[in-house]
Amino acid sequence: MIVIAEPVEMQRLALAWRTEGARIAVVPTMGALHEGHRSLIRIARARADRVVVTLFVNPAQFGPGEDFERYPRSFERDRAVCETDGADVLFAPSAAAMYTPDHSTWVEETVLSRGLCGARRPGHFRGVATVVVKLFMLTQPHVAVFGEKDAQQLRVIRRVVRDLNLPVEIIPGPTVREPDGLAMSSRNAYLSGEERRQAVALRRALDEAERRFAAGQRDVTALRTAIAETIRKLAPAATVDYIEIVDNDTLEPLTQVDRAALVAIAVRFPSARLIDNTVLRPEPVC
């Protein structure tokens, strides 16, 4: 496996691969790799001749007061993971290499990014969309793999690819969970022991919504109330940031689950903000 830090070097290699007819897959990450990331690398490995894992803690997607400085960084461990799981390149540029001092060009999706995390983190998805397009230009992928845990991000990136006619297939990777159901996240490392025990409430709340939906509940207010009550009961240390039930494609709010619906939640513990989601799908009417 090759480690590359310079964007021009990465682009030169990717273009050479394309000239040779190789199929390229990219897995964009911010490092602190866990089993969820590893599952994405394995998906990429099965879909391509060459796999690039990018490791870049992107300053453009962090707002004031967020955790950019303390975001987990474990380069040597991440390099070992990438090599073990079959990456051909670990692309790990510096912020200075990715953004010149007078950088002034941004990519902004303006519809799918408005609600959910976008409403709470102004500028976040502008930073995400910009860096992803830059990474696509540098790694020249045929396919890119993103995790379903970051549901809004996945939909925003799909929209950017569609609207800008980028020749990249976006492949979703299923959420990978701890044995107790907590979605794997690099930010889980922030949690204290008690917060970690309470964090399972996110999955339990989604389970409760799924149970009530399976029993026939379609009213969004009732489902949101059930989710909130479960979190309040199981995670007293947490504050709900949002509980939203929206159209699975457009992310528009729903009042009734009469189509595929994304149930998205964000919860703040004293040490970390966590997100999770599930999709409710009504049976088709014959």
Catalytic (active-site) positions: 37
Tokens of 240: 């709900």
In the block, which residue shows the tokens 């159209």?
247
Cβ of 284: how many Cβ atoms within 10 Å?
5
d(CA 148, CA 277): 8
Decide: 41 and 51 in contact? Cβ < 8 Å.
yes
**Angle subtended at Cα 250 by Cα 239 and Cα 246, rounded to the nearest 5 degrees:** 35
Give the Cα separation of 286 and 281 in Å (integer). 15
Q: How far apart are CA 114 and CA 193, in angstroms?
A: 34
Enumerate the β-bridge partners of residue 269.
Answer: none
**What is the distance between the alpha carbons of residues 122 and 64, in angstroms, rounded to a whole number?**
10
* Kind of pairing between the strands at 261-268 and 239-247: antiparallel
